[in-house]
Structure 1
């Protein structure tokens, strides 16, 4: 075997780590903006560029289980996404910045900007060479080359910069690998750090100019020569010192390399055809689903805000969602909401997104769907869940949210094992976070919003257990300084609804405050308001039990047993006091959200007012079926159309 053959074999083996990493990536499902970036078009999280012949695609991707994002170029037509070039290898973008990240042309240069518009990577071209920066364009060609030019990307004299002149980890046909004596530019290949991390790894591959005019192709492992080709004779490479790694070692190394290469080719072929078969199955499933939905299955409906026009949320095709959720498989199901199931979906190079599929037979589904898309698209707060996109295709109504790794708050506080994770300080932070999110909805946002369905199952927790208010399907916007309204259709969850809303259809920011008070009591006690059973109070609810303990000066008996070691007694009593203030029967007696936030942050416990008797205090049933509830009975009598969700105790 010639030294050139050995070099090519090693180069092939050297490249397999990046190819292997690519096999963990999923196909992009973003919108395509053409093959060119210019002053008016750039790449975002929701868009990519594709070469004219469809061979290559460029956009943001996150390899494997890496939560960071990079700009890269990959083969478009391969089912196993294979990356050939990466821009910002040393300066990735965090998942929290991706909604605002951009790859665009600024002052004649291609740049990667994060969420704060800070430049993470640039082509670093001297702007004085650009005759007219407004004419600069970047085009992705069918050979995988990204060319930045002065308007004419077909004429090499106008080229300002090319990705082929700046390879990252892969040599492509026509790309440069060597040393340019005129520009003194050295083209070097650098391995990925590992299969999930494209940042520069330990291995580099370069052409070195020997002082005796012999050219060497050298592979380095950090600062140690791992392999070299030997000098170039004009026809081929001669064996270098490390080929002379003895003949005995060479005889062992070559078969191992050949075997490794054959194994890799076999595995790659197997994965390719398996993915291809899976894609065909999904395509067939998609066509079947589309044929069985209402209409022709092709119509796309864009949602518009009557006041603001098109909403600021990207549209996702049903086909891309079916692929991302594996056709809404049970394995990807996260839970069941009031209007339909929620699934985990994998999008855009491995990004996890929560997919809420509204039930097609829900009478309220269409109104709540439009309401939630329009509202959340216009809200931005750290304690509100973010809407990442939507799909309204045929009979399918789907919302896409940021994925919350820890699901909802109720899965923690009502679980005797998982509740141990939430000590007192963490529950304190969760209560404050919910209050700040509610304050934003009631007072600080551009719109004054009443949620109408605040409950522990609608509080989602991120990776660090920070709370985010979700599910705005029932939310209402009120104009200007108005803080209340009424409705003929009462919708919500039994056990969290304020009495004036459940009975008379009157909702206000104070009805949200009532719901928040119930949430506080549930977080502190670890028990549900409905379905609560106590040996001394048959069929009473948690609210009635809390009020009895408060009046008997036994408030600490309500605190979850798992908190006794970490709990501060004064703080616990203060929070119970605030919770009971929020659930007072008369809405005028309840504090507004700004006062709640102030009370939560105050260290002065003595100044808190004493709460009055709450509504929905008890629901006792004697043997003669009589009821002693003062504010509400189990069967609510109302002129309104009542639709409630029943929370079932665990």
Structure 2
């Protein structure tokens, strides 16, 4: 058993000393306290231990909960009363014992003229370069047994070898224990717990919103975590979102390979291990004694295996597939991202080494060619696993005759009922009256009810039906010029006819050359126009209005490229003297909503200011939030901040704008955008101030680093977390309701 802690805190407002400088070392009786008195750093003795450590704990919790320890493997003696924490001449943090020997150091290499260390309200202890302001080292890169919002849980085996959680040996000993938590290096990654370097538990692959091996009823975590794609240096990493002020922890009891290969574990059964269909215990004696670790073996040889050995086979008796539902999928998959479900099945069918396959939304095709290990049956959630079976184990040989008789009987009954129903419908039609269900016997009533239900289903349709591109090509005859109806500013429109005869119009968007029409003057006019429109909504109209769903797709352009703010379906009106409002129903488009709105439902004009800042970055870069995340594998706001901080703000501008004479104005727009997306509403300008900043030449304040990063969530069927509260794409469903 091991324990994983995820700590999420709210921040009160106070002041305290949080800076360590070279001139002010910390002794045993002194501590650093973050500016809002959330966390405290100092020396402590865990439990009944005779050792002393430097650590970080919650400031205002009665029972001290230590969330990070510096010298886990190099403790000080409790009898040493002259220990201290200093910043050495080389700019590194150092823990010194009473004899001034270095017990622990950050060991940052380089030449630094001056550094300070700061304890933040996030619980991060950082070394900052005094002159450049850059972070040289931070405790978040070296987690202990706790994971805080803002920390990154990394990939085991990456080059840097950090960002992995490890357990304490005991409550009195923070030395790294036997358990380590991190992500696997495969794609898509899984979350693992290793015990003494051997896999002990896994959470299944990441599908874009959750780990599919953690059942939904145990989850509630899918809105709390996000997984960032990997790179060649570090691999993927998991981060915790700011959503509430609770402490989440869980205990992991089950072990991998407990039931062995080709076996399934079901906690509600006795015994809990059972062989998969078509498999038998490898050792009946051991299995009967409750030792299931050797697992199971296939009962009958597969047809494809017989063919490979040169044995004759019957063409009518083929290997088949068996579907297991609500399954924790086995370990050791191969991943085919670009296969659809049919191609996935065909690949497995054509490869005798394929033991099973699964098609999971958000992951796509997964196949298994080795032993199937660590399969578990869930009562809810889970995925479908398609298992390869021999013909002998499919049940077709023994049940074929019975199945034929059953199908014949059922077919005759259905044919008779259909004839009776059609006869009745024809009779009532001739009489010119509607059917009266009271005249039916129970059998006829059942048939009619089922038929009417099918009619209703055929008449119903989705509000936004989805078509594959190959369907669009077919209905427009490959976008034939004969089908062309006309052409607008951003593409041609073609006539198409669906399979059911319905006529449709299909607009095919033009290529990126249209981007050249958006020169700097046009873009700046759009930026200013949107800003002036928001100033009118917030300050000048008779009703003070907060839009709540500002994004580029809700900005219309007339023939002169003048912007018009549209789609007020989610707008909220305020009294003239009202500054804030709260809502229990959070709606809008994820990626444009402000932190205070997502976390607490707090609405103000600063909510629109945040959205305006995101749009500004999109207009300057010609990249949507979602497109940017997909292509660059990094968050848009985080990338914008890093580029700006590194003096590379010009990288955020569209390539078509970089050669213009208005780069300085473009950089000013990016500067204003970063001020608009500040974490705290008080740090953002009003729309009046933002528009003034765009047009004036006054010196602008420096933006703060945006610690709250909006995460891109993939749609799932779980119905949990933020997925229910907000749109995750560019389309917003607007409903009219009383305010």
Structure 1 length-normalised TM: 0.32
Larger helix share, 1 or 2: 1
**Could you state the TM-score of these two structures normalised by the residue count of structure 2?**
0.28
